[in-house]
Amino acid sequence: MKYLEEFQDPRLARRLLDEIHAVTTRPWALMEVCGGQTHSIIRHGIDQLLPEQVELIHGPGCPVCVTPLETIDKALEIASRPGVIFCSFGDMLRVPGSDRDLFQVRSHGGDVRVVYSPLDALRIAQQNPEREVVFFGIGFETTAPPNAMTVYQAEKLGVKNFSMLVSHVRVPPAIEALMTSPDCRVQAFLAAGHVCSVMGTEEYPELAERFRVPIVVTGFEPLDILEGVRRAVIQLERGDHRVENAYERAVRPEGNPAARRMLADVFEVTDRPWRGIGTIPASGWRLSERYRPYDAEHRFEVGDIATQEPAACRSGEVLQGLLKPHECEAFGTTCTPRTPLGATMVSSEGACAAYYLYRRLGGPVAAAAPTAMEASPVG
Amino acid sequence: MADILTTDADRESPDFSKFSCPTPLRNAERVVMGHGGGGMLSAELVRDVFAPAFGGAHLAQLGDSAVLDLGGARIAFSTDTFVVRPLFFPGGSIGDLAVNGTVNDLAMSGATPAYLACGFVLEEGVGLDTVTRVAEALGAAARRAGVEVVTGDTKVVESGHGDGVYLNTSGLGLVAPGVDIRPQRARPGDVVIVSGDLGVHGVAVMSVREGLEFGVEIVSDCAPLGGLVQALLAAVPDVHVLRDPTRGGLAAALNEIAVAADVGVSVDERAVPVPPEVANACAVLGLDPWYVANEGKLVAFVPREQAEAALAALRAHSLGARAAIIGECTDQHPGMVVARTGLGGTRVVDLPLGEQLPRIC
Amino acid sequence: MCLAVPGKVLEIEDREGTRMAVVDFGGVVKEVCLEYLPDLQVGEYTIVHVGFALQRLDEESARQTLALFEGLGLLEEEFGDQWAIAAKAAGAEQPTDDAPGGDAHGGPQRDEEARA
């Protein structure tokens, strides 16, 4: 795919790596905010190729991970109602609620469907006027505009049997909350590129200044991530704390004005609980007053479902970089991707799930695998 | 609201150090789709439910087919059930799959497939023209594969209790003397070969699946592999393992072999043939091509000194023209599959949990 | 979060008052909503997330970024900068920290690749 493959080029990656090695003189802790970046880092083995002094802390930017347990329980309740078609992105089906997940709702006869786009859910509503069709509207600022547009279209087209269970989250308040945590070790942020494609970069200079951290807007392909790391390290080494855009091909300072206008119309800012973290003030969006009729939470009267999240795992410390996933007592024993205790183990992008895959190797894999490759004619 | 939700507190209120989580889902009390996905849930179902209930020494092989001594002959025996949606897809249909799936399971024991039995489960109300098309596709596929359908059965379920047509086929094949091909025979030093481009069938089917539709100029690779296997065996009689990477794709096939033989498998990511359309469809949907199903490909583990001969034999056959050496078997990390990435890093290639779903993040 | 991929706009049409496009992702063609990029034209590239074009992909910027990467470290290589060479060596050793036996990661081979 054009503009994707070019940014995976191993030769240029080596150049960037050499450069990062060359400029790094001290230990630095960087957080990549977005789960998509974590995924790419693990998928390409980038963390193993960076200088030892450069530590990547996996951030909370996985919407699947941080969607509050309470919201999942509401989704499960709505999806279980007779006559409901419950539509969701594929990621959410495996996320456990208090006692089950959407797969299990389906196994009990619930009509749970995976869609690629929220517009597909709206189409299903149009095709099934006698059924209530609910879309599970989760995600960060990237996913919020598509969901907002879908609600807008539902109203415009008069699709009355469509509603959305909305649990959107916003990145900047989470960065702020992280940085105000007294034990936070993060010294620089790789900001989430596609969030900035929508929102632009205007929210970040204040954060960079207030907490004196470099913030580098970063893309998702290997070269993008390496460039983000390179620029962050250069700033750290110089003692700078500026906002830089290392993903210029997809991010403008003003973001996408049309999308931002729609967000301001359809949603309103609200306090939002993050799974396992607690409420972060002003960190979420809910439907605005005008679109409240499309709020599934009201339509299905599940607002009084309040779930206590049992204290079992220590992913909060993991998210702050205070604890490596494998240092948790539950890691790999009671807590595995198959039986996740915590949000960070639920998603394949979660920090613990990513670690689980590596730590099962018992250490020497970095040496073992390439040895095997010597036999490969392609190596 | 729970007590951690301290909305009235100041801006320092979120407590990252007490990031707490829900209790895990340990046991599904009912079957979920993932139990049929060819991943971890499928394996657990066989291990925890079927194997203990059935007993029997031959089942322990857990290969694609069982190889049995019967009156002096070595017979490969296999069965497979087909629930594909839609019934017809670019490059094939459920009828083609029903033949090739079972024939290929037999071929993965090194057998020459000979006879098939076929069971139809029809849904009340399905068009007879549809049944006819499926039957004709099945018959044509059997002739192409060189097997004969010798017996069958039909059942009808009430409307709403099936997806039009479900098929089951069972097959018999003959294994030549001296041929011993099973997952347990993988050993360190073996070279891992795939017979061609991966992910083609899965992407072709997904492209017409409701809710995912996309345009792509590829068709299913669904094909019978008996001839390809015999060509390989003629050049390299001592093939250790064969596997057709169907559900769960390459990742599941390699993991199953690594566990069965208690060896490690190392793969060079850059050597694995994935057509651009497959890679791009997977990029759009957030899937990994190594987990996508194939229907006309095989994975072979062969002794290192015969790897080039095996590769040449596969490439000389029309179904193996794009065969490639992708890695090797090692005594490191037994039971695990590890990939060397294009950048020179490493990652674990895990067994998929259940079905593959498009993701947004 | 936010899996989004670049695609090229092939066709644009109005459907029920909504601006939609057919977008090509390297041989994979999907329908995409263009409401958020009302002035996007056929032939341009866009970043697509869950069926929505969210931002125009700036091709010139993409080329400049790649050119910047091409230029990185060239001076050091030409003049045999000892710093870069030392860093390269460190890079080859770093991932094998847990494993005694040093060179198993194939460092020299990678260096050749880097220069190729």
**pLDDT band for position B210 (50/70/90)?**
confident
In this prediction, what percent of chain A has a pLDDT beyond 70? 86
pLDDT of the residue at A319: 63
pLDDT of the residue at A375: 29
pLDDT of the residue at A376: 30
CB neighbour list of residue A114: distance below 8 Å, 6 or more residues apart: A87, A88, A89, A90, A93, B211, B357, B358
CA dist., res. A94 & res. A101, Å (int): 6
pLDDT at residue B140 tops 80 = yes
Contacts of B254 in chain A (CB under 8 A): none
A278 vs B360: CB contact, 8 Å cut-off? no
**pLDDT band for position A345 (50/70/90)?**
confident
To probe the interface with C, which of B203, B266, B284 has the most C CB atoms within 10 Å?
A: B284
In this prediction, what percent of chain B has a pLDDT beyond 70? 91
pLDDT for A86-132, tens place per residue?
A: 999 988 887 888 888 898 899 899 999 999 999 999 999 999 999 99
pLDDT of the residue at A256: 98
pLDDT at residue A307 tops 70 = yes
State the sign of the Cα–Cα–Cα–Cα dihedral A293, A297, A301, A306. Answer: negative
pLDDT of the residue at B8: 38
pLDDT of the residue at B22: 34
pLDDT of the residue at C39: 95
pLDDT at residue B280 tops 80 = yes
**pLDDT band for position C110 (50/70/90)?**
very low
In this prediction, what percent of chain A has a pLDDT beyond 90? 63
pLDDT of the residue at A99: 80
Q: How far is CA B33 from the centre of its chain?
A: 16
A145 vs C33: CB contact, 8 Å cut-off? no
DSSP bridge pairs for C19: C14
pLDDT of the residue at C75: 55
Region B302-316: what's the mean pLDDT? 98
pLDDT of the residue at A341: 66
The secondary structure of chain B in percent helix, strand, coil, rounded to multiples of 5, reads: 35, 25, 45
Region A68-86: what's the mean pLDDT? 94
pLDDT for B98-119, tens place per residue?
A: 999 999 999 999 999 999 999 9
pLDDT at residue B324 tops 50 = yes
A49 vs C38: CB contact, 8 Å cut-off? no
Q: Residue B20: which of A48, A177, A309 has the nearest Cβ?
A: A309
CA dist., res. A6 & res. A12, Å (int): 9
Q: How far is CA C95 from the centre of its chain?
A: 24
- Contact in structure between A131 and C34 (CB atoms under 8 Å): no
Q: What would the DSSP string read from start to end of B335-357?
A: T-EEEE-TTS-EEE-PPP-S---
Where would I find the H helices in B176-239? 200-206, 226-235
pLDDT for C43-100, tens place per residue?
A: 999 999 999 999 999 999 999 999 999 998 765 544 444 544 455 555 444 443 343 4
- Going by C-alpha positions, the residue among C67, C46, C65, C68 that lies closest to residue C57 is C46
B360 vs A98: CB contact, 8 Å cut-off? no
pLDDT of the residue at A377: 30
pLDDT for B82-95, tens place per residue?
A: 998 889 999 999 99
pLDDT for B1-14, tens place per residue?
A: 333 333 333 334 55
Contacts of C113 in chain A (CB under 8 A): 10-11, 14
A44 vs B345: CB contact, 8 Å cut-off? yes
**pLDDT band for position B41 (50/70/90)?**
confident
- Residue for token pair 């596929």: B141
Q: pTM score, two decimals?
A: 0.85
Mark A245-264 as b/e (b = at least 16 C-beta within 10 Å): bbbbbbbbeebbebbbebbe
- Contact in structure between A310 and B21 (CB atoms under 8 Å): yes
